Amino acid sequence: MTEELPHRHATLDEVAALAGVSRSVASRVINNAPHVSRAKRESVERAIRKLGYVPNPKARALATRQAGAAALVISQDDPEVLTDPFFAQVVAGVASALEDADLHMMLCVAASPRGRERVEQLVRSRVVDGVMLMALHEDDPLARIAKESRIPVVFGGRPVDFEPRWYVDIDNVGGARDATDHLLSRGRTRVVTICGPLDTEVGASRHRGYREAMMLAGLKPRPPQEGDFTEAAGAAAMARLLEAHPDLDGVVAANDNMAAGALRALRGAGRSVPEDVAVVGFDDLAVAQLAEPALTTIHQPVRDLGREMARMLAGLIAGRTASPLILPTHLVERASS
């Protein structure tokens, strides 16, 4: 009986020899580097499959000076933010795209000054090859870190106070304008809004869309009530709006969570939806369909937002160029309007 020899991993030299290319060409194909002809790339890929070659991560990192990882950083005071369905969808989109790019994902919630310091250390130490930043407020310290970074940084949504080089965003102004126009087309003339934090781009942009639609219709926008995108904040803001504007007949909420809170407050006040007050949200997450009545809302491609951020970052890490990207929205009509 012959003794079975221990399994030996194929080497890069063997891949190059079988493919009939130099070691450097084989290395460039394995590291997805540019300037390799299609024929040579296909030859190396066939050799990899035939030999069962598996790159050594440590050797690859040394050869490319890359860590093989990217970080998704969410700037939020509340570490429970990841329980929000919106961010869960973003994370799912990022994870799928990074997996396709063969990059590990590091997830960070910068919920305190110490958390932001750790992010800064992460960027400066080159533990990751690139960063995706989300949920920045005005004057957020992470924006400065991004500006000074020597690795690529892609923003999920634009910051309020400057225009970054690379970002993926939603058409927030257009979506909020469509939501308001929808209510106006239903004959609602006393439309109010529950906006997000106005020191964020998403909050300010959706408020701007509401104001533009009202003014274009010859109506005076009413002062907004601000909320932090939670259902509780939406209910509290709705109660304040009912007190300030008892004649209101339409509500544009900056997200579905706050719209669901508004529905609860309207029921508590004895207002019927949509007969007395019509309500439109923004996001089109599960809560919109589960609400009573089901929410008319603005659909935004949340998972695509995460996916496109990660694709843009992976391309930049690989040496490709990129331009800012704005994703479209559309109205989904349900029972609340």
Task: Give me the domains of the chain, ranges plus CATH numbers.
Answer: 12-64 (1.10.260.40), 69-169+302-326 (3.40.50.2300), 172-301 (3.40.50.2300)
- By DSSP bridging, strand 296-299 and strand 330-332 are antiparallel
List all residues 6 or more positions away from 18 whose beta carbon is below 8 Å from its beta carbon: 47, 50, 51
Sheet-wide strand order for 104-110:
104-110, 69-75, 130-134, 153-156, 167-170, 325-327
Closest CA to 142 of 200, 198, 68: 200
Give pLDDT, residue 119. 81
HEC sequence for 184-248: HHCCCCCEEEEECCCCCHHHHHHHHHHHHHHHHCCCCCCCCEECCCCHHHHHHHHHHHHHHCCCC
- By DSSP bridging, strand 130-134 and strand 278-283 are unpaired
Give pLDDT, residue 127. 82
Tell me 137's DSSP state: P
Total Cβ atoms within 10 A of residue 201: 23
Ordered DSSP codes for 28-91: HHHTT-SS--HHHHHHHHHHHHHHT----HHHHHHHHT--SEEEEEEE-S-GGGGGSHHHHHHH
Total Cβ atoms within 10 A of residue 284: 22
**Radius of gyration for the chain, computed over Cα atoms and rounded to the nearest angstrom:** 25
- Ordered per-residue pLDDT tens for the chain, 337 residues: 444 444 557 888 888 999 998 877 888 788 776 667 888 889 999 998 888 887 765 555 545 556 688 999 988 766 677 778 888 999 999 999 998 888 889 998 886 778 778 888 877 777 889 999 997 777 788 887 788 888 899 999 988 888 899 999 999 999 999 999 999 999 999 999 999 999 899 999 999 999 999 999 999 999 999 999 999 999 999 999 999 999 999 999 999 999 999 999 999 999 999 999 999 999 999 999 999 999 999 999 999 999 999 999 999 998 899 999 999 999 999 999 9
Tell me 277's DSSP state: -
Chain centroid, CA 260 distance in Å: 22
Q: Is the pTM of this model over 0.85?
A: no
- Residues 225-276: tens digit of each pLDDT: 999 999 999 999 999 999 999 999 999 999 999 999 999 999 999 999 999 9
List all residues 6 or more positions away from 124 whose beta carbon is below 8 Å from its beta carbon: none
The string over 125-149, giving b where at least 16 C-beta atoms fall within 10 Å of a residue's C-beta and e elsewhere, is eeebbbbbbbbbbeebbbbebbeee
- By DSSP bridging, strand 225-226 and strand 191-195 are parallel
The span from the CA of 226 to the CA of 122, in Å, is 34
